Amino acid sequence: MRRDIFQAIADPTRRAIITLIALQAMTPNAIAEHFDTTRQAVSKHLKILSECGLVHTAQQGREIFYTLEVEKIKEVDHWLEQFRKIWATKFNQLDGLLHKLKT
Protein backbone atom coordinates (compact mmCIF):
# COMPACT_ATOMS: atom_id res chain seq x y z
CA MET A 1 0.00 0.00 0.00
CA ARG A 2 1.34 3.42 -0.97
CA ARG A 3 0.85 5.99 1.77
CA ASP A 4 0.47 9.74 1.50
CA ILE A 5 3.51 11.83 2.42
CA PHE A 6 1.39 14.13 4.59
CA GLN A 7 0.11 11.14 6.53
CA ALA A 8 3.70 10.14 7.19
CA ILE A 9 4.91 13.54 8.41
CA ALA A 10 1.86 14.04 10.62
CA ASP A 11 3.50 11.95 13.35
CA PRO A 12 6.14 13.73 15.49
CA THR A 13 8.27 10.59 15.82
CA ARG A 14 8.42 10.18 12.05
CA ARG A 15 9.36 13.84 11.67
CA ALA A 16 12.17 13.30 14.18
CA ILE A 17 13.35 10.24 12.25
CA ILE A 18 13.36 12.30 9.05
CA THR A 19 15.50 14.92 10.79
CA LEU A 20 17.96 12.26 11.98
CA ILE A 21 18.43 10.59 8.63
CA ALA A 22 18.56 13.87 6.75
CA LEU A 23 22.01 14.34 8.27
CA GLN A 24 23.37 10.85 7.63
CA ALA A 25 22.32 7.32 6.72
CA MET A 26 21.45 5.31 9.79
CA THR A 27 20.56 1.75 10.77
CA PRO A 28 17.26 1.06 12.54
CA ASN A 29 19.15 0.32 15.77
CA ALA A 30 21.02 3.64 15.57
CA ILE A 31 17.73 5.45 14.96
CA ALA A 32 16.02 3.63 17.85
CA GLU A 33 18.75 4.81 20.25
CA HIS A 34 17.41 8.36 19.88
CA PHE A 35 13.92 7.44 21.11
CA ASP A 36 12.42 6.20 24.32
CA THR A 37 10.54 3.44 22.51
CA THR A 38 11.06 -0.08 21.27
CA ARG A 39 13.02 -1.05 18.19
CA GLN A 40 9.78 -2.55 16.81
CA ALA A 41 7.98 0.80 17.13
CA VAL A 42 10.79 2.53 15.24
CA SER A 43 10.63 -0.19 12.58
CA LYS A 44 6.90 0.48 12.16
CA HIS A 45 7.61 4.18 11.64
CA LEU A 46 10.36 3.35 9.13
CA LYS A 47 7.96 1.08 7.27
CA ILE A 48 5.44 3.90 6.93
CA LEU A 49 8.15 6.30 5.76
CA SER A 50 9.28 3.71 3.21
CA GLU A 51 5.75 3.11 1.97
CA CYS A 52 5.31 6.77 1.12
CA GLY A 53 8.74 6.97 -0.50
CA LEU A 54 10.33 9.31 2.03
CA VAL A 55 13.19 6.96 2.88
CA HIS A 56 15.42 4.70 0.86
CA THR A 57 17.14 1.59 2.15
CA ALA A 58 20.58 0.37 1.19
CA GLN A 59 22.15 -2.82 2.41
CA GLN A 60 25.81 -2.79 3.36
CA GLY A 61 26.89 -6.21 4.51
CA ARG A 62 24.48 -7.29 7.24
CA GLU A 63 23.27 -3.77 7.97
CA ILE A 64 20.41 -1.88 6.37
CA PHE A 65 20.85 1.87 6.23
CA TYR A 66 18.01 4.34 5.84
CA THR A 67 18.49 7.61 3.97
CA LEU A 68 16.13 10.47 3.24
CA GLU A 69 14.66 10.85 -0.25
CA VAL A 70 15.10 14.61 -0.57
CA GLU A 71 13.14 14.80 -3.83
CA LYS A 72 10.06 13.45 -2.04
CA ILE A 73 10.31 16.21 0.59
CA LYS A 74 9.99 18.71 -2.25
CA GLU A 75 6.32 17.66 -2.57
CA VAL A 76 5.70 19.17 0.86
CA ASP A 77 7.67 22.28 -0.05
CA HIS A 78 5.67 22.66 -3.27
CA TRP A 79 2.39 22.40 -1.36
CA LEU A 80 3.57 24.95 1.22
CA GLU A 81 4.67 27.41 -1.48
CA GLN A 82 1.08 28.48 -2.11
CA PHE A 83 0.77 29.51 1.53
CA ARG A 84 4.11 31.33 1.51
CA LYS A 85 2.79 33.54 -1.29
CA ILE A 86 -0.41 34.28 0.65
CA TRP A 87 1.54 35.05 3.83
CA ALA A 88 4.00 37.27 1.96
CA THR A 89 1.12 39.25 0.48
CA LYS A 90 -0.52 39.64 3.90
CA PHE A 91 2.75 40.74 5.53
CA ASN A 92 3.36 43.26 2.74
CA GLN A 93 -0.13 44.65 3.25
CA LEU A 94 0.45 44.88 7.00
CA ASP A 95 3.82 46.53 6.44
CA GLY A 96 2.18 49.09 4.16
CA LEU A 97 -0.52 49.79 6.71
CA LEU A 98 2.00 50.21 9.54
CA HIS A 99 4.08 52.54 7.40
CA LYS A 100 0.97 54.56 6.57
CA LEU A 101 0.00 54.79 10.25
CA LYS A 102 3.48 56.03 11.20
CA THR A 103 3.31 58.94 8.75
Domain ranges of the chain: 5-102
Distance CA 42, CA 39 (A): 5
- Model pTM? 0.79
Task: Give the confidence band of 11 by pLDDT, cuts at 50, 70, 90.
Answer: very high
* % residues pLDDT > 90 (the chain): 73
Q: List C-alpha distances in Å: 21 to 30, 50, 58, 93.
A: 10, 13, 13, 39
Query: Tell me: the pLDDT tens digits for 16-50?
Result: 999 999 999 999 999 999 999 999 999 999 999 99
Number of CB atoms found within 10 A of residue 89's CB: 10
Residue 71 burial (10 A CB sphere; 0-12, 13-18, 19+): exposed
CA–CA separation, 79 and 87 (whole Å):
14
5-102 CATH: 1.10.10.10
